[in-house]
Chains A and B, each alone.
Chain A
Amino acid sequence: MKNPLVALIVGILIGVGGLYFFLPYDPLSLIGGDTRGVVASGDGEARASAGETLRRVRDRGFLQCGVSQGLPGFSSPDERGNWSGIDADFCRALAAAIFHDPSKVRFRPLSAKDRFTALQSGEIDILSRNTTWTMSRDTQLGFDFVGVTYYDGQSFMVRKNAGIETAKDLAGGTICTEMGTTTELNLADYFRSRGLSYKVLSFEKNDEAIVAYDRGRCDAYTTDASGLYAQRLKLTDPDANKVLDDIISKEPLGPAVRQGDPQWEDIARWTLNALLNAEELGVTSGNLDEMLESDNPRVKRLLGREGAYGEAVGLSPDWAVHAIRAVGNYGEMFERNVGTETPLGIKRGLNALWTEGGVQYAPPVR
């Protein structure tokens, strides 16, 4: 009996040791003490891999786009697997800018929990998944956010008959949310700073959280306000529930890319900016052909009739034309997916252009 026992111990010790091998630094430095905040490379000037991502995407023939597992208005598949929503459309615009073909994109549904690892590892080229731009994500996780596709804020959905008017009334209650999101942290901040108690039940998928809320497991369901309107549609009786007016956090949602490839970051950033500028300049998917003849120098620069803005990031001069033709300008994208005519019925609000009282303000193409 001695043999297998010893073998097992040795085996597992070696197994654990083997795991150690995978660690990306000298394990002995642990004994040495302070390893806090060791960043693997010397700051931002990672070995020049500029252009690497674009080349890889072109070689592959399609864009790998990380989206949610189903959040109406942002990224959700229909029965046939056609994705729609702002986040999905942004990826289409990006694919159109690169390949001149918005269909050259593959959507990879990811849970909130898995999304960052997938982007870090290179599993996806861009994360366009209602992700909040925060400092730690931008700096420690090795990402760069390229802009804001939707200005949002966290709120709560409660049952109308529960007598809850503000978020404070939720003290002592159980709140369902999605695991691995900023909402978990905001909840802690909000209630802790007011000295109130709460219980949080974190689900792996937001659909599971909403089902648990629907069954009465929780007093409230929390996520970004836009998500609340989207998720409310999935309830057995949507009208018996309401979204609180309280907004407890800032949630600027935007696409993120890996650090270390400035060119790819630029492509993503300026595709978004192009869609915003198009709206500002009145360029729509409908009037695109007329606009190509426009004399307005700003329109000419945007549409590649003047200057070589596309070439600077490795794309063709008319990259923005293809992006706009694919999904329309930002306003069209917004109205089509979440606007007042859709089941979500969200007004532009903060997401209106700066010229119309909102905060969407894109740097000029010039």
Chain B
Amino acid sequence: MAMEDVTGRPRPPMRSRISPVDWARRNLFSSVGNTALTLFCLWLLWLAVPPFLDFTIFSAVWTGATREVCLGPDKGACWPLVWANLGQFIYGRYPEDEIWRVNVVFALGFAAIVPALIPSAPAKRFNLIFLLVIYPLIALVLLAGDRPGLRPVPTSEWGGLLVTLVVALTGIVVSLPLGIVLALGRRSSMPAIRTVCIVFIEFWRGVPLITVLFMASVMLPLFLPEGMSPDNLLRCLVGVALFSSAYMAEVVRGGLQAIPAGQYEAARATGLTYWQAMGLVVLPQALRHVIPGIVNTFIGLFKDTTLVLIVGIFDLLGQVRAQLSDPSWTVPQGALTAYIFAALVYWVFCFGMSQYSNFMERRLNTSRER
């Protein structure tokens, strides 16, 4: 990450002719107060980092087949616990001989997402259509089965990282368009449509996600005619998607507000319809303004997927929690080990997304400034 001064511009890279001593004097010990702060920070680091490294690496148990290897004093993290349950953490209870299907979905998704994220990769349009339309269909068929030659796997057997990714990606794919529509509706000149959108957005933003998931997961059939009962995971997906689309709508609205009305008026003056003016002129500019906000909503959604564990769907965190009560791996440091592992997985995904958004933001900013 580039260092920033108060103006937010990246500083020129440090010249090698500044000696480390000079650099330290300038950046760490410029005054008595600063020196004290630096020493204080070093003390904090000394308190926190060595025990953490000791627990996770130096004193940790790395190999073994049973819980006995992790018992005993002065033993750190019990990594064999993670290795032994890795399959569950990733696939949940997906039938063992069908796991290749999940792997194919993961591999396909990876192969489609990576080029989509690299700005210079070719065939962007096809890539995106594949990612947003064809890929979800392939993934659905492969994961759920229910086609000739594929054994159906009910969603109650899905779990772990698979569920986390399914919930998060569906939420992302659904919430962006829905959020845009809601944001446009909220800025519409038609009072009825505006009111409906405002009520919708404020309702979803005002209630906690766990009550939404509770409604979706156990109460929804009360509101549906008898016998009509969509899949439980699907209902939670819808709940998560609606919830995050309300947040997305507010982010997009911020972007729309930043676009001068003249842009829209000029577009209409050239004979474009409302949707053309919005789609071709206003939205591309507005969305570009709020890329960080959009990605933050995605990150929030990704983290919120953990809440499905409260309604009995075993996502990654749910599987990790479930594992903690497995008698064959009850060790005193088991919980800490498992939590650190889960935290690391979530962190990698979320940090990756935020770094990518920083990268895109900088890229778009430079292209605008040129």
- Are B202 and A8 touching (Cβ within 8 A)? yes
Which has the most chain B C-beta neighbours within 10 Å: A70, A120, A123?
A: A123
How many A-B contacts at CB < 8 Å in the complex? 98
Nearest neighbor of B334 in chain A, beta-carbon distance: A236
- Are B325 and A211 touching (Cβ within 8 A)? yes
> Interface digits, B301-336 against A, CB 8 Å rule (1 contact, 0 not)?
000000000111000000001101111001110010
With A207-B322, A211-B324: A114-B203 Cβ-Cβ less than 8 Å? no
Question: Measured between alpha carbons, how far is A204 from B310 in the docked complex, in Å?
Answer: 8
Cβ 8 A contact of B218, one of A11, A22, A77, A114: A114
Tell me the minimal C-beta distance from B173 to chain A in angstroms.
26
Question: Measured between alpha carbons, how far is A204 from B331 in the docked complex, in Å?
Answer: 23
Chain A contact residues (Cβ within 8 angstroms of B): what range? 35 or more
> Interface digits, B81-110 against A, CB 8 Å rule (1 contact, 0 not)?
000000010001101100000000000000
B10 sits at the interface (CB 8 A) = no
A7 sits at the interface (CB 8 A) = yes
- Are B221 and A236 touching (Cβ within 8 A)? no
- Are A234 and B330 touching (Cβ within 8 A)? yes
- Are B221 and A122 touching (Cβ within 8 A)? yes
B337 sits at the interface (CB 8 A) = no
- Are A114 and B322 touching (Cβ within 8 A)? no
Residues of A within 8 A of B214 (CB): 114, 117
- Are B325 and A108 touching (Cβ within 8 A)? no
B133 sits at the interface (CB 8 A) = no
> Interface digits, A312-347 against B, CB 8 Å rule (1 contact, 0 not)?
000000000000000000000000000000000000
Which has the most chain B C-beta neighbours within 10 Å: A80, A110, A121, A211?
A: A121
B357 sits at the interface (CB 8 A) = no
Question: Measured between alpha carbons, how far is A7 from B202 in the docked complex, in Å?
Answer: 10
Tell me the minimal C-beta distance from B319 to chain A in angstroms.
10
B195 sits at the interface (CB 8 A) = yes
Cβ 8 A contact of A108, one of B95, B199, B226, B312: B312
> Interface digits, B164-202 against A, CB 8 Å rule (1 contact, 0 not)?
000000000000000000000000000000110011011
Residues of A within 8 A of B206 (CB): 12, 15
> Interface digits, A1-44 against B, CB 8 Å rule (1 contact, 0 not)?
00000011011101100100010000000000000000000000
A109 sits at the interface (CB 8 A) = yes
Which has the most chain B C-beta neighbours within 10 Å: A79, A109, A234?
A: A79
Query: Which residues in window 56-107 of A have CB below 8 A to B?
Result: 56, 59, 69-70, 77, 79-81, 106-107
Tell me the minimal C-beta distance from B75 to chain A in angstroms.
14
Residues of B within 8 A of A15 (CB): 199, 202-203, 206
B217 sits at the interface (CB 8 A) = yes
Residues of B within 8 A of A235 (CB): 330
- Are A123 and B198 touching (Cβ within 8 A)? no
**9 closest Cβ pairs, A-B complex:** A81-B93, A121-B221, A122-B221, A207-B325, A11-B198, A118-B218, A121-B222, A11-B202, A15-B203
Q: List 15 A-B contacts (CB under 8 A).
A: A7-B198, A10-B195, A10-B198, A11-B195, A11-B202, A15-B202, A18-B199, A56-B226, A77-B93, A79-B93, A80-B95, A120-B222, A211-B324, A236-B330, A236-B332
B interface residues with partner A (beta carbon < 8 Å): 88, 92-93, 95-96, 154, 156-157, 194-195, 198-199, 201-203, 206, 214, 217-223, 226-227, 229, 232, 310-312, 321-322, 324-327, 330-332, 335
